Chain A
Amino acid sequence: MDLNYSTEDLAFRAEVRAFLDAKLPQDLSDAVRLGRGLGKEGHDRWHSILNEQGWLAPTWPEEYGGCGWNAVQRHIFEEECCRAHAPRIVPFGLTMLAPVLQKFGSDEQRAHFLPKILSGEHWWCQGYSEPGAGSDLASLRTRAVRDGDHYVVNGQKTWTTLGQYANWIFCLVRTDPDAKQQEGISFLLIDMDTPGIEVRPIILLDGTHEVNEVWFTDVRVPVENLVGEENKGWTYAKYLLTHERTNIAGVGFSQAGLDAVKRLARQQIHRGRPLIENPHFAARLARAEIDLMAMATTNLRIISAAAQGQAPGVESSMLKVKGTEIRQEINDLARRAAGAYALPFAAEALAGDNSALAPPEGSDTVAAQYFNNRKLSIFGGSNEIQKNIIAKVSLGGRT
Chain B
Amino acid sequence: MNFQLTDERQMLQDSLRRFLADRYTVAARTEAIADPSGYSPAIWTQLADLGVLGALLPEAVGGYGGAGFDIATVFEELGRAGVVEPVLDSAVLCGALLCGPGDAQPSPRDREYLERLVAGDLQLAFAHGEPTSRYERTWVETTATGDGQDVVLTGRKTVVVNAEAAELLIVSAREGGASGDRDGLSLFLVDPQAAGVRMQGSALLAGGRAAEVELDGVHLPHSARLGTAGGAATRIETALAAAEVALAAETLGAMETATRLTMDYLTTRQQFGRPIGTFQALQHRVAEMLIEVEQARSAVINAAGHLEDTPQTRDRHVAAARNLIGRTGRHIAEEAIQLHGGIAMTAEYELAHIAKRIVMAEHRFGDADTQMERFIDLSAA
Contact = CB atoms under 8 A, between A and B. Distances in A.
B210 interface: yes
Interface string A267-302: 011111001001011001000000000000000000
B200 A280 contact: no
B3 interface: no
B191 interface: no
Interface in B354-378: 355-356, 359-360, 363-364, 367, 369, 372-373
B282 A384 contact: yes
Contacts of A158: 342
A374 B345 contact: yes
Contact of A340 (B129, B270, B282, B341): B129
Contacts of B136: 270-271
Contact of A339 (B134, B180, B273): B134
B200 A356 contact: yes
Contacts of A281: 369
A304 B330 CA distance: 37
A343 B180 contact: no
B180 A357 contact: no
B203 A344 contact: yes
A284 B373 CA distance: 14
B241 interface: no
B200 A352 contact: yes
Contacts of A382: 338, 341
B363 A340 contact: yes
A46 interface: no
Interface in A143-175: 158-159
A378 B338 contact: yes
A158 B337 CA distance: 17
B158 A341 contact: yes
B365 to A, nearest CB: 9
Chain B contact patch, size range: 35 or more
Interface in A334-353: 335-336, 338-349, 352-353
A378 B342 contact: yes
Nearest to A133: B271
A42 interface: no
Nearest to B132: A269
B205 A367 contact: yes
A207 to B, nearest CB: 7
A136 B134 contact: no
A369 to B, nearest CB: 11
Contact of A375 (B270, B342, B369): B342
Contact of B179 (A272, A335, A357): A272
A367 B131 CA distance: 18
Interface string A316-334: 0000000000001000100
Query: Could you say which of B179, B271, B337, B344 has the most chain A C-beta atoms within 10 Å of its C-beta?
Result: B271
Contacts of B353: 205
Interface in B22-48: none
Given A135-B271, A340-B158, A345 B203 contact: yes
Contact of B364 (A268, A272, A343): A343
Contact of A136 (B129, B271, B348, B373): B271
Given A134-B341, A135-B341, A340 B203 contact: no
A342 to B, nearest CB: 5
A260 interface: no
Nearest to B330: A332
A356 B360 CA distance: 25
Nearest to A131: B343
Given A135-B341, A269-B134, A375-B342, A336 B369 contact: yes
B52 interface: no
A11 interface: no
Contacts of B364: 340, 343
Nearest to B179: A272
B214 interface: yes
A129 B159 CA distance: 40
B271 A139 contact: yes
Query: Could you say which of A135, A280, A284, A339 has the most chain B C-beta atoms within 10 Å of its C-beta?
Result: A339
A144 to B, nearest CB: 23
B338 A377 contact: yes
B369 A368 contact: no
A370 interface: yes
A204 B159 contact: no
Contacts of B214: 356-357
Interface in B117-163: 129, 131-136, 139, 156, 158-159, 161
Given A340-B364, A341-B158, A348 B345 contact: no
B271 A270 contact: no
Contacts of A372: 345
A139 B276 CA distance: 14
Interface string A195-225: 0000000111111000000000000000000
B204 interface: yes
Contacts of A383: 338
Query: Could you say which of A134, A278, A344, A367 has the most chain B C-beta atoms within 10 Å of its C-beta?
Result: A344
Nearest to B369: A280
Interface in B237-278: 270-273
B334 interface: yes
A134 B212 contact: no
Given A278-B369, A344-B205, A367-B360, 7 more contacts: A132-B270, A270-B135, A344-B204, A352-B200, A367-B359, A378-B337, A378-B342
Sorted nearest first, the 4 A-B pairs with minimum C-beta distance are: A357-B212, A205-B352, A136-B271, A345-B203
16 contacts: A203-B347, A205-B347, A269-B133, A271-B134, A272-B132, A272-B179, A342-B205, A343-B204, A344-B202, A344-B204, A352-B201, A371-B359, A374-B344, A378-B338, A382-B341, A384-B282
Interface of B: 129, 131-136, 139, 156, 158-159, 161, 179-180, 198, 200-206, 210, 212, 214, 270-273, 281-282, 330, 334, 337-338, 341-342, 344-348, 352-353, 355-356, 359-360, 363-364, 367, 369, 372-373
